[in-house]
Amino acid sequence: MNEKIGMVVIVLGLAFDFFGCVGLIRFPDVYNRLQASAKCVTLGTCGILLGLFLFKGFSGAGIKALLCMVFILLTAPVSAHALARAAYRSGVKPWGGTVVDHYGEDLENIK
């Protein structure tokens, strides 16, 4: 029973991984790509690790998979945030269809 649930969770995770990578190809500029891929790939990999935990139960590998999930959930948004900031600071212009750009206006005033 656990293995069937684990299989479903792994397939969901694989699908979200794929959507994130398609977003990486399709979206028009760095910031949108970052949005799509950071969200989808993080949740997808967490899904795969949760599936591993459901397969193995509370053995060594299962506990380590849970720890790995916590690490990824803590570190992936931080690196996405750092990359978005670095892209703005290194002078990448937002896409032409951008509606408002308050951060670009305020960029001189912040440090």
Partner 1 sequence: MIPGRVRWFIGLVASFAVLALILFLPLPSMLKWQSGFLGRAFLWLLVCAILCLARVVRGPTAPDRSVAIDMLGILIVGFCAILSLSTGRDWYIDIGIAWALQSFIGVMALAKYLEGRDFDE
Partner 2 sequence: MMKKAFLFMLWYLVWCLLAWPPSMQHMIIGIFVASFVSLMTNDMFSGKPLDTRLNPARYMWFLYYVAVFAWECFKANIDVAYRVLHPDLPIKPGTIRVKTSLKSDAGLTFLANSVTLTPGTTSVDIDRDKGLIYIHMLYISDSYDKDSMKLKVVDKFEKILRRIFE
Residues that bind partner 2 (CB under 8 A): 16, 19-20, 22-23, 26-29, 31-32, 34-36, 38-40, 42-43, 59-60, 63-64, 66-67, 73-74, 77-78, 80-81, 84-85, 88, 94-95, 97-104, 106, 110
CA distance 32 to 42: 16
CA distances from 9 to 13, 41, 53, 67, 107 (A): 6, 14, 10, 18, 42
Chain centre to alpha carbon of residue 21: 10
The option from partner 2, partner 1, none interacting with 49 (CB < 5 to 8 A, set by class) reads partner 1
The C-alpha atoms of residue 17 and residue 11 are separated, in whole angstroms, by 10
Q: In this chain, which of 78, 99, 100, 110 binds partner 1, going by CB under 8 A?
A: 78
40: exposed, middle or buried (C-beta count within 10 Å: 0-12, 13-18, 19+)?
buried
If DSSP codes are grouped into helix, strand and coil, which group holds residue 34?
Answer: helix
Which of 22, 57, 95, 98: binder of partner 1 (CB under 8 A)? 22
Comparison of 7 and 61: residue with beta carbon closer to partner 2: 61
What residues make contact with partner 1 under the rule CB under 8 A? 7, 10-11, 13-14, 17-18, 20-22, 24-25, 30, 33-34, 37-38, 41-42, 44-45, 48-49, 51-52, 55, 59-61, 64-65, 67-68, 71-72, 75-76, 78-80, 82-83, 85-87, 89-90, 92
